[in-house]
Amino acid sequence: MAFLLDDILLSPVKGIVWVAQNLKDMAEAEMTDESKVHEDLMELQMRLELNEITEEEYQKRENELMERLEEIRKYKEEMGK
């Protein structure tokens, strides 16, 4: 009987914890998605080839994206993923 009462009283808390954990997992997956960085690199290359940006702009943004890619890889390595 006590377990049933505990389940009833704690179910809203368990639901909130479940939602929070799912949000955390989704945010982590999005932050560590290398494919988005690769897409940005390809778009950057295309913009350079179409003369939409200068070589200097390209180099600056490419360096930023490569640093981001390295951060993602280090994070995954540290987390064992």
Domain ranges of the chain: 1-31, 33-81
pTM of the model: 0.67
- Give the max Cα distance, the chain: 73
Q: 43 and 5 in contact (C-beta within 8 Å)?
A: no
Whether the pLDDT of residue 5 is over 90: the answer is no
Three-class DSSP category at 14:
helix
Please, which pLDDT band fits residue 48 given cuts at 50, 70 and 90? very high
